[in-house]
Structure 1
Amino acid sequence: MRSFYALILSILSLLVSVSGLHLEVPAEVSPRPMCIRDFVAEEQLVVVSIKSSGRIGDGQQLNFYIVDSLGNEYRRKNDIAGNNRVAFTSHHNAAVDICFTNEKNSKWGSGADLYREIELEIESGAAARDWNAVQAAEKLKPVELELRRVQELTNEIAEELQYLKSREERMRDTNESTNSRVKWFSILVIISLIGLGVWQIQYLRHYFKVKHII
């Protein structure tokens, strides 16, 4: 029975939001940003781990910055190499972009084919917490710690479902309001066209009578 619960806990633990990516960012004299986008909930802890190849002073300057779709900038750092770890708390329910630019030193010339390899890991919510520190502070057993992680993960899923539900309700209300406005606008256009047609008929009848045509 204990092994069954351990299996369930391990499966649920895999559902925690963790994204690992491998990137190659070429060095350019006027580099364009290469961005990775992830959605985060409001007041959610996000930890971004960056492991890059190369070294500072190797003819290229790797920069990164983190912004959300609402224009809030969380972090910006220039000329990085090796391991870097950034943590922040999101301000809103929004998409977050982690962007990299790799600027080539002009003295290396246009023929040098330089690039940086990046291992990027994005952890959010329960996955971003330091569970070793939680276990040490609260003196939890391994099974209790896994249950705690699963509980927080379940709460995050429930909050996300509630957010999606409220968003769907707002979109439905917007669609219904738009449909109602389009309906009344169409009715107004039809009434206006009918009124214009009747006026034209009356005007032509009056014109023909004045000219003694009819």
Structure 2
Amino acid sequence: MNYFSYLFILVNFLIASTSALFMDLPALPNPERVCVRDFVQEEQLVVVNIKTDGRVGDGQRLELQIVDSIGNKHRHKQDVAGTYRVAFTSHHNAAFDVCFTNHVDKSYKGHNGKFSREIELEIESGAAARDWNAIQATEKLKPIELELRKVQEMTEEIATELQYLKRREERMRDTNESTNSRVKWFSILVIVSLVGLGGWQIQYLRHYFKVKHII
């Protein structure tokens, strides 16, 4: 096997490997919300794939809500069952939460208090979320060209994220330097005020004692 063959296998492994999350969410009368958090860059495509067992009307109601840390709601669905897919484009560099709440339907005749939903959650963003099969068919790319295109876009995303982290570090450094400067001048002002107050107290006491003929 040549170098390009090894590269092709490595890229396939890196891109094809997906991190799916599995959870078993019990249905309760007053359930707590269970959330999974991820970070996304500005103007980045995000695809959330959800697979659940059960069906609508089986005695439990799985509620889905996707909201970012800024407060934007990207999706809210009351009853999720089977396979469900959500796609949205982020508007800011922010974290977002994919939250599930599983409510039990007490009026369901087959209710035995032990209902639960198995959930498989997969979150893709950026280059990983694009429909590469459609791109390959539209641009008539060869398999190796397609993989190299994926690597190029993923590399650009990594470079963009590193630039964002660099700018964020610069802002934090400027904030720290500004805070240190303000603390320094505030400390000098406090010291000068204390010295001035001490001198004034000494002069006042000397004058008081002279008036009273103590000294």
How would you bin the TM-score normalised by the shorter chain? over 0.9
Instruction: State how 1:41-80 maps to structure 2 within 5 Å.
Output: 41-80=41-80
Q: Is the 8 A contact 1:18 1:124 kept in 2?
A: no
Q: Distance in 2 between matches of 1:154 and 1:14?
A: 16
Q: Distance in 2 between matches of 1:95 and 1:186?
A: 38
Aligned residue in 1 for 2:20:
20
**2:170 matches 1:185:** no
Assess, with a 3 A threshold, how the Cα gap between structure 1 residues 86 and 97 changes in structure 2: closer, same or farther: same
Q: Deviations over 1:116-154 (max 9, x none)?
A: 110000000000001000000000000000010000001
Instruction: State how 1:1-214 maps to structure 2 within 5 Å.
Output: 2=2, 4-16=3-15, 18-107=18-107, 112-214=113-215
Assess, with a 3 A threshold, how the Cα gap between structure 1 residues 125 and 14 changes in structure 2: closer, same or farther: farther
Q: What is the deviation of 1:48?
A: 0.3
TM-score by length of 2: 0.94
Q: Distance in 1 between matches of 2:5 and 2:178?
A: 50
Identical-residue share of aligned pairs (%): 68
Assess, with a 3 A threshold, how the Cα gap between structure 1 residues 49 and 213 changes in structure 2: closer, same or farther: same
Deviates more, 1:111-120 or 1:124-133: 111-120
Q: Is the 8 A contact 2:11 2:147 kept in 1?
A: no
Write the letter of the residue equivalent to 1:37: R
Q: Deviations over 1:81-106 (max 9, x none)?
A: 10001110001000010000001112
SS of equivalent residue, structure 2 residue 98: strand
Structure 2 unmatched ranges of 5 or more? none
Q: Is the 8 A contact 2:58 2:108 kept in 1?
A: no
Q: What is the deviation of 1:111?
A: 6.1
Q: Distance in 1 between matches of 2:28 and 2:6?
A: 48
Q: Distance in 2 between matches of 1:130 and 1:92?
A: 22
Q: What is the deviation of 1:55?
A: 1.1
Deviates more, 1:105-114 or 1:44-53: 105-114
Q: Distance in 1 between matches of 2:71 and 2:130?
A: 26
Q: Is the 8 A contact 2:68 2:97 kept in 1?
A: yes
Q: Distance in 1 between matches of 2:202 and 2:34?
A: 65
Q: Deviations over 1:61-89 (max 9, x none)?
A: 00101100000001111111100011100
SS of equivalent residue, structure 1 residue 192: helix
Structure 1 unmatched ranges of 5 or more? none
Q: Is the 8 A contact 1:18 1:127 kept in 2?
A: no
Q: Distance in 1 between matches of 2:121 and 2:47?
A: 11
Write the letter of the residue equivalent to 1:160: E
